[in-house]
Chain A
Amino acid sequence: MAKVGNVINYEDCVIHVDNVSKSFGDLHVLRNVDLKLYNGENLVVLGRSGTGKSVLIKLISGLLKPDTGDITVLGQRVNDLTEKELMQLRLRIGFSFQNSALYDSMTVRENLEFPLVRNKRNLTRAEIDREVEDVLDGVGLLQALNQMPSELSGGQKKRIGIARTLILRPDIMLYDEPTAGLDPITCLDINGLINEVQERYKTSSIIITHDLACAKMVGDRMVMLLDGKFERQGTFEEIFDTDDTRVKPFYDYNFIV
């Protein structure tokens, strides 16, 4: 299941997390974290629940502010941006939430057109419909167009959530635990979709997960968040070539018979 067709440019760093710390009260979630995402790359962030993986991507998209340190996204320092500039930057970042975060009072169609209608006000009805059908077809769910989110399965919701972010043609995709809570076959589907997105839309992506199959399938490079720091990084084999008791169980769990 080797990946083909993606070109990574290691000269072009699209996200640079530089020495960032974040605490909530007495809880130090991230301590002096450094991370780079290169153009065209799928970077997997591994880590146990509650280690601050979601906090990391919320910092990147400006939903949270770092206590110290700098975050540069597509050449812009997130902390220095005005509200307006931040909004503009966010349109270039797609965010797939752990629970899909579909607007449950709207149909699938309304969910998909929401970002378009709100940000590109000069589009005609026909253009909007074409875009909606295009991305929906891309995730293979054209038949769900007029359904409500509550009528969809977890995997379908995930796909619609991803389609909703793709409709703005983002340069960067952030996936928060894309396979959490899904059955193995749906997981394979979603992993395939993540690779397809990378190829088709030329995105650079951060994929947060603790699912090793997902990590292996979609990741070009991996980092592991341990006690608020990225202590290990590299390929899949490099990460797990260790006796560290905080790391080994991730690997061993997959081979318990």
Chain B
Amino acid sequence: MGRKFNNLLLEFARLHRFLMRVLREAVSPPYEFKEIVRQCYEIGWKSFPLIGLTGFIVGFVFTKQSRPSLEDFGATSWLPALISIAIVRALAPLVTALIASGKVGSQIGAELSSMNVTEQIDAMEVSGTNPFKFLVVSRIIATTIMIPILCFYIAGIGLFGGYLSIIGNDQLSLLSFFTQVFDKIGFVDIFAMTLRAVVFGFTIGFASCYVGYYSSKGTEGVGKAANSAVVASMFTVFIEELLIVQVLSLIS
């Protein structure tokens, strides 16, 4: 019991050191621009198809499933408003974060831990490159930039999926659909969505890099790291989502 508690404290101390180091090295030169751009491509660009598909399905299915309940009140004309609130306030950042936790988290966790196991990180360090900056910081910056972009993309595609679902039953022009959509959401909603996406992006990058960088040696460590990176990312995203919802409801 005492030992377990002790280990937990040590883990927290290590997490704290890791965080401080990330922040310190992110702002101090030299900057790894080229590697950051490459990671944005690897992490962000390559996720667009999956994220797009997910966004479309979420928007389409959500709209289809909401229709019957609104129909009971003869209120199907509220569908665009309902979709926009649901997607922008709740679904877009959360779905992006969960998909990215799975795809990007496992990728980062596996990459870094296999580099750790095969001493590639040590090799980098002894040949004059700071591996922390090159591997960890650049990945965290890339997720922090790309998850918000992916989130906007998923919101756009999700709304479009909703629109397609609506015109299966009703007459509605794309223009008036989007007029109604933006009628219901304000600057605060967009801001809140972006803020969440930034927080989730940082979280996914940070958690996956931490898990990968400190993975146990040995090949079974790689699989374990990929797995824990996903679990840690998702878990932290859920906690943050709960906290953010509480804070936002206090504010408004």
Contacts and interface: CB of A to CB of B under 8 A. Distances in A.
Are A and B associated in one complex?
A: yes
Interface of A: 58, 61, 63, 87-88, 90-91, 93, 95, 97-99, 101-105, 114-115, 118-119, 164-165, 168
B93 to A, nearest CB: 30
B122 A63 contact: yes
A90 B126 contact: yes
B123 A90 contact: no
A93 B120 contact: no
5 contacts: A90-B126, A93-B126, A97-B123, A114-B129, A115-B128
A164 B123 CA distance: 10
A104 B118 contact: yes
Interface of B is mostly: helix
B125 A91 contact: no
Interface string B91-121: 0000000000000000000010011001110
B6 to A, nearest CB: 13
A99 B126 contact: no
Contact of B119 (A87, A97, A119): A97
Contacts of A58: 122
Given A91-B127, A164-B127, 18 more contacts: A61-B126, A87-B128, A87-B130, A88-B128, A90-B128, A95-B123, A95-B127, A99-B118, A99-B119, A101-B118, A101-B119, A101-B123, A103-B120, A104-B114, A105-B111, A114-B127, A119-B128, A168-B128
A95 B128 CA distance: 12
A87 to B, nearest CB: 5
B120 A101 contact: yes
A170 to B, nearest CB: 10
A98 B120 CA distance: 11
Contacts of A87: 128, 130
B127 A165 contact: yes
B106 to A, nearest CB: 16
A97 B122 contact: yes
A101 B129 CA distance: 15
B128 A63 contact: no
Contacts of B111: 105
Nearest to B42: A105
A82 to B, nearest CB: 13
Interface in B29-88: none
A122 B124 CA distance: 20
A150 to B, nearest CB: 12
Contact of A118 (B122, B126, B128): B128
A28 to B, nearest CB: 20
A89 to B, nearest CB: 10
A43 to B, nearest CB: 19
* 10 interchain residue pairs of minimum CB distance: A101-B123, A101-B119, A115-B127, A95-B126, A97-B119, A119-B128, A118-B129, A101-B120, A90-B126, A61-B126
B127 A90 contact: yes
B127 A168 contact: yes
B20 to A, nearest CB: 15
A95 to B, nearest CB: 5
Contacts of B119: 97-99, 101
A26 B125 CA distance: 27
Contacts of B129: 114-115, 118
For B111, B127, B129, B130, the residue with the greatest tally of chain A CB atoms inside 10 Å of its CB is B127
A202 B27 CA distance: 41
A168 B120 CA distance: 17
